Structure 1
Amino acid sequence: MSEVLIIQNLIVVNSFVLYQKIKQFVYGMLIITNKSIIRCKLDYVYCVKFSLYHNHNNHQNIICFSSQNNSIRFWDFEHNQQLQSFKQHTNCAGAIKFSPFSGGRYLCFGSYDNKIRLCDVETCKTLHVFNGHTQCVWCVNISPLQNNNNSNNESNNIGVIGGNGYTICSGSFDNTIRICDIETTKKLTLFKGHTDYVKSVKYGSNALANTILSGSGDTSVCLLDIPSGQQIQVFNRHSEIINNAEYSPF
């Protein structure tokens, strides 16, 4: 097996540290550098994540990526083959996010069709389609894993999604941020503070557990209070687009 996997315009270090492989992404095809070159022709690849669900449950090394051809694909990079795919969007598939609960069994992804889909990785079925945005959904996130009486680690096997208070946060080219309840599928909060498209949304943790940090094309970073739906603070010293905003890990 080669040490390098090439897909598209992004260099990522494999989270499975034991393998110590470097992954690099290039335009237009999936290539595995080995004695032979294997190619899976694609359109532009937007987002790539490692699937902890497949690693936890089946000991498989799988990457999940979204593409301009409207699809979400799961690729087994040890055996150089596609494992499964979702092709339910009517436009380019964009941001993807695995659930922090149930060992990453659930996948949330946004699209240029203005919709967000929540899917079950195990069954390959769509559980719900979230509507509301009027332009493409650029970024999505799922609220952090909650402590409970049985487990407080990332392998927590909550039997069902509902009843646990988890939410989905999404940022869009309509300049808004929406928060929806996974159990009820209802919109909880709508933020309209940005004056340009939203490119990054992140949930806070610990003392900032009820906040969201957002970055936008309006060059600002906003700290938002989820319960009140209000801005806590705006950071606007940048002069260019904010592509990614992140909380300090400390």
Structure 2
Amino acid sequence: MSLTSDEMNYLVYRYLLESGFTHAAFALGNESYVDGRKLTDGQREVPPGALISFVQKGLQYCELEANLNEDGTDVDADFSVLSAKDLLSLSVDELKELVSARRNMTEEERKALREEEEKEARAKAEANGIKIESDIEREIKSEEVTVLDGHTSEVFICAWNPTKQMLASGSGDSTARVWTVPAGPSGREAQTKLAKPKVLDHKASGDGVEAMDTDEKSAAPDGKSMQGDVTTLDWNADGTLLATGSYDGQARIWDTNGKLKMSLKHHKGPIFSLKWNKTGDCLLSGSVDKTAIVWDAKTGDMKQQFAFHSAPTLDVDWRSPTEFATSSMDHSIYVCKLGDDKPIKAFNGHTDEVNAIKWDPSGTLLASCSDDFTAKVWSLKKDTCVHDFNEHEKEIYTIKWSPTGPGTENPDLPLLLATASYDATIKLWDVESGKCLHTLEGHTDPVYSVAFSPDGKYLASGSFDKHLHIWNVKDGSLMRTYQGEGGIFEVCWNKEGTKVAACFSNNRVSVLDFEN
């Protein structure tokens, strides 16, 4: 049996989606016409992590082959475990020689090799700020976690309501859900209530953990559910409305009872980013169609479309109720104003696509991060960047400002910028001096999301290594850690700073308790 090119393309497409490479997945899907429905019978879906699973099985086969005798029979000696690096870089004959050499080692040599490997592992862990003996104390147990189980595909995005104990999540199953989470401790009691989560007709009731789902009858006026992955979502400032953006090119606005208020239909491609302005009267969306649109939140009408980019718009962020910035795969950033036909500022300095942009809490500085391995800080008063942070070794996927400094609720703490990279590290930058304060090295795979606690003292990070870490911002130490069952796409704090939510590639959302 052999894989067809369509089947291989679909496996790669799923891997890209599950790994957070949504832009690359979209490009592959369009160019190869990937359609999972043609590759399944409707009952046997391709499971998450299928490509990785097949590759791992292939490596295990190579390992087994290297351990067999020349005639294919089992050997009498111990099975020799080979590293992934060995299996990927050496031929079968070279692997057999390595296995043979290990089998001929004396017991003292074996013991010395094990001790050296343990020493290297301990040194690496401690260099990353992790003390082996205290890992158990830091670990968050599964019984301390509430698992929100209801999505049927990867959960890409989640966000807490700014005023209520509600958590919104968006998934590749073409649905958005809003979960009502009890204010008390997470754990077994809430877990029991979630064994059969009640799917409401867009109405939340009771004090349990329940979900509002977008069912086919009530998700849209024409009776159709949302078509395409829910890629982005955002609550308005007073927590009364939730906006969602989808691969179908539509933005939608919902109330807290799950009722669809309006569908915003003008984009010609998937929406990757959308944000409410602080006054809640406008919604901003950015799309693969290379444009950004400002919508009237009361009527659903398009107030203005901005078509300045020459490639897909990847991120948008408001500076004020009428000014905002956009970033694109064309390497550029534009600052625009509602009512103006041209950008009021253009920032050019990145040499690859600009993945994310964020205004600082005061709206004075704009941070950006790119596939060119750099993050930059810009000011409207300058044409060139104020700071060029270039210490990461791979692409920077996202950035976050701390909720600290002048004009915030934490004015006595310095303003910081967190950058998360494919190099598996997070860096904390002092924006005033331009220096890196801490490099957080606890993850082993790309870091896709970081979030500061509301008081600015802690930072949560999520990676595709399945771990959520919580760090002390002051000294960069690792406070708590939780290992889930899938890669993490997004992490976020509730308004009190007592709970952290993380959404996973295994279709689940987890809520963890955190005590200072």
Bin the TM-score by the shorter chain.
0.7 to 0.9
Question: What SS does structure 1 have at the residue aligned with 2:466?
Answer: coil
1:225 maps to 472
Question: What SS does structure 2 have at the residue aligned with 1:114?
Answer: coil
Question: What SS does structure 2 have at the residue aligned with 1:110?
Answer: strand
Deviations 1:207-237 (A, max 9, x none): xx32110111222211112234222112222
Question: In 1, are the aligned partners of 2:467 and 2:488 still within 8 Å (CA)?
Answer: yes
Structure 2 residue runs of 5 or longer lacking an equivalent are 1-263, 294-300, 497-516
2:319 maps to 51
Residue of structure 1 aligned with 2:386, choices 108, 127, 134:
127
Q: Report whether the alignment pairs 1:243 with 2:489.
A: yes
What is the rounded CA distance, in whole Å, between the counterparts of 1:176 and 1:235 in structure 2? 17
Question: In 2, are the aligned partners of 1:28 and 1:42 still within 8 Å (CA)?
Answer: no
Q: How does 1:196-235 map to 2 (within 5 A)?
A: 196-206=445-455, 209-235=456-482
Question: In 2, are the aligned partners of 1:67 and 1:94 still within 8 Å (CA)?
Answer: yes
Cα RMSD after superposing both structures: 3.0
What is the rounded CA distance, in whole Å, between the counterparts of 1:15 and 1:37 in structure 2? 16
Question: What SS does structure 2 have at the residue aligned with 1:174?
Answer: coil
Q: In the superposition, relative to structure 1, how do residues 87 and 237 fare at CA in structure 2: closer, same or farther (>3 Å)?
A: same
Which structure shows the bigger proportion of residues in helix conformation? Answer: 2
Aligned pairs, number: 225
Q: In the superposition, relative to structure 1, how do residues 92 and 41 fare at CA in structure 2: closer, same or farther (>3 Å)?
A: closer
Residue of structure 1 aligned with 2:349, choices 88, 101, 108:
88
Question: In 1, are the aligned partners of 2:332 and 2:348 still within 8 Å (CA)?
Answer: yes
* Seq. identity, %: 20
Question: What SS does structure 2 have at the residue aligned with 1:224?
Answer: strand
Question: In 2, are the aligned partners of 1:51 and 1:104 still within 8 Å (CA)?
Answer: yes
Write the letter of the residue equivalent to 2:366: L
Q: Report whether the alignment pairs 1:14 with 2:276.
A: yes
Larger Rg: 2
Question: In 2, are the aligned partners of 1:142 and 1:166 still within 8 Å (CA)?
Answer: yes
Question: In 1, are the aligned partners of 2:312 and 2:328 still within 8 Å (CA)?
Answer: yes
Q: In the superposition, relative to structure 1, how do residues 184 and 5 fare at CA in structure 2: closer, same or farther (>3 Å)?
A: farther
Q: How does 1:136-215 map to 2 (within 5 A)?
A: 136-146=395-405, 165-206=414-455, 209-215=456-462
Structure 1 residue runs of 5 or longer lacking an equivalent are 56-60, 157-162
What is the rounded CA distance, in whole Å, between the counterparts of 2:331 and 2:316 in structure 1? 14
Residue of structure 2 aligned with 1:42, choices 304, 310, 329:
310
Q: In the superposition, relative to structure 1, how do residues 18 and 231 fare at CA in structure 2: closer, same or farther (>3 Å)?
A: closer
Q: Report whether the alignment pairs 1:74 with 2:335.
A: yes
TM-score (ref. length: structure 1): 0.77
What is the rounded CA distance, in whole Å, between the counterparts of 2:389 and 2:304 in structure 1? 42
Question: In 2, are the aligned partners of 1:4 and 1:22 still within 8 Å (CA)?
Answer: no
Question: What SS does structure 2 have at the residue aligned with 1:82?
Answer: coil
2:215 maps to none
Structure 1 position 192, deviation (Å): 1.2
What is the rounded CA distance, in whole Å, between the counterparts of 1:17 and 1:35 in structure 2? 16
Deviations 1:41-77 (A, max 9, x none): 531222111112xx4xxxxx12211111111112334
What is the rounded CA distance, in whole Å, between the counterparts of 1:36 and 1:51 in structure 2? 17
Structure 1 position 164, deviation (Å): 6.7
Q: In the superposition, relative to structure 1, how do residues 125 and 13 fare at CA in structure 2: closer, same or farther (>3 Å)?
A: closer
Question: In 1, are the aligned partners of 2:414 and 2:430 still within 8 Å (CA)?
Answer: yes
Question: What SS does structure 2 have at the residue aligned with 1:126?
Answer: coil
What is the rounded CA distance, in whole Å, between the counterparts of 1:114 and 1:188 in structure 2? 18
Write the letter of the residue equivalent to 2:276: N
Deviations 1:124-172 (A, max 9, x none): 441111121000111112222236xxx6569x9xxxxxx9732221100
1:159 maps to none
What is the rounded CA distance, in whole Å, between the counterparts of 1:212 and 1:153 in structure 2? 17
What is the rounded CA distance, in whole Å, between the counterparts of 2:414 and 2:304 in structure 1? 48
What is the rounded CA distance, in whole Å, between the counterparts of 2:284 and 2:485 in structure 1? 30
Write the letter of the residue equivalent to 2:287: V
Structure 1 position 38, deviation (Å): 6.9
What is the rounded CA distance, in whole Å, between the counterparts of 1:35 and 1:224 in structure 2? 42
Q: In the superposition, relative to structure 1, how do residues 39 and 229 fare at CA in structure 2: closer, same or farther (>3 Å)?
A: closer
Question: In 1, are the aligned partners of 2:286 and 2:316 still within 8 Å (CA)?
Answer: no
Structure 1 position 173, deviation (Å): 0.6
Deviations 1:69-127 (A, max 9, x none): 11111233434432221011111112212111xx3111111111111111112434411
Q: How does 1:98-137 map to 2 (within 5 A)?
A: 98-100=359-361, 103-137=362-396
TM-score (ref. length: structure 2): 0.39
Write the letter of the residue equivalent to 2:435: K
Q: In the superposition, relative to structure 1, how do residues 22 and 5 fare at CA in structure 2: closer, same or farther (>3 Å)?
A: farther
Structure 1 position 13, deviation (Å): 5.2
